[in-house]
Amino acid sequence: MIHPCSELRFISPEVGYGVFATQDIPRGTFLWVLDYFDRILTPAEVGALQPQLRTIADRYSYQAADGNFVFCWDFGRYMNHSCEPTSRGVGDAFEVAIRDVAAGEELTSEYGTLNLLTPMTCYCGAPSCRGTIRRDDAARHFEQWDEQTRTAFALSHTVPQPLLPFAKLGARDLPLMDALQAGRATWVPSSRDFHIVDVPEEVLFASGHGAP
C-alpha cells in the first residue's frame, strides 16, 4: 500500500506513470508497505499467466526474498527506480524514506533489491546513476544502502506512520517491529540478504528470457 499523501501522475510515453508526494514527508516514514491486498504469485503461477497478463505482471511485479512475485493492488506498483531513491526496502514489508521528501517530488525505490529477471537500462539522471540495474547489485552496494536504511529506520518511531496498521508482516519484520516499539532501532536486515541467486526456471522458460 502506497503512502496516502501521494498521487499517480503520467510522466511521459517513455517512462509511463510515476508516484508523487502531495505533501512533505519526513525521513523515516514508511512510504510503502506490503499489505493483505497485494497479490502474491508463485513462479509457476507467473509462468502460466495468459500472455496479456504476463506482460503486465513482468512490468509491475517484483520478486521478493522468498522467491514469490508481488503484484501490488494499488498504484504503489507504478513506483519507478532511481539510483538515488527516496526510499529503500527494509525487512520484508517496508519501504522507508531515507531522506525528507518534498511535496511534488517523485517517490522512487531501488530496483537493485527486487531481483530483476533481466538487467534494466537506467535513465534516472542521478549523479551516481549506475547505468544498468542488475539482479545482483545488492551484493556490491549493500554496505552503503544498509547504512542509509539504518539511519532512516532509527527515526521511524519519531514520525507519523499512517501505513503501519495495514502492513502484512513477514518473519524478518517482527524484530523490526519490536525495535520500532521500543524506540531503539539500531539494527536492520541487510539488503544483501534479499538477493536470490537462482532465477526460477518456470518463469524464464515461459517468458522466452532463457533456454531452451
Partner 1 sequence: MIHPHTRLVAIDSVVGNGVVATRRIPRGTITWVLDELDRPLTGTEMNAMPSCYDKLIDLWTFRDGRGHRVLCWDTGRNLNHSCEPNCGGSEFWFEVALRDIEPGEQLTNDYATLYMRPSEDFACRCGSPLCRGAASHEQVPIVVAAIQKQLQLALSELTLVPQPLSGLLRADWLERARELVASNLVAASVDAVVAVGE
Q: What is the contact surface with partner 1 in residues (CB under 8 A)? A: 36-37, 39, 45, 49-53, 56-57, 71, 73, 165-166
Q: State CA 25 to chain mean position distance.
A: 18
Nearer to partner 1, 126 or 164 (CB): 164
CB of 79 vs partner 1, minimal distance in Å: 16
Contact of residue 37 among Zn ion, partner 1, none (CB under 5-8 Å per partner type): partner 1
Nearer to Zn ion, 125 or 212 (CB): 125
Contact of residue 139 among Zn ion, partner 1, none (CB under 5-8 Å per partner type): none
Nearer to Zn ion, 84 or 202 (CB): 84
CB of 31 vs partner 1, minimal distance in Å: 18
158 CB neighbour count, 10 Å cutoff: 11
CB of 110 vs Zn ion, minimal distance in Å: 10
Contact of residue 45 among partner 1, Zn ion, none (CB under 5-8 Å per partner type): partner 1
Q: Which of 143, 150, 146, 142 is nearest to 176 (CA)?
A: 150
Contact of residue 154 among partner 1, Zn ion, none (CB under 5-8 Å per partner type): none
Interacting residues with Zn ion (CB under 5 A): 83, 122, 124, 129
Q: Which of 176, 14, 2, 207 is nearest to 101 (CA)?
A: 2
Nearer to partner 1, 13 or 51 (CB): 51
Nearer to Zn ion, 83 or 152 (CB): 83
Contact of residue 129 among partner 1, Zn ion, none (CB under 5-8 Å per partner type): Zn ion
Q: State CA 197 to chain mean position distance.
A: 18
CB of 72 vs partner 1, minimal distance in Å: 9
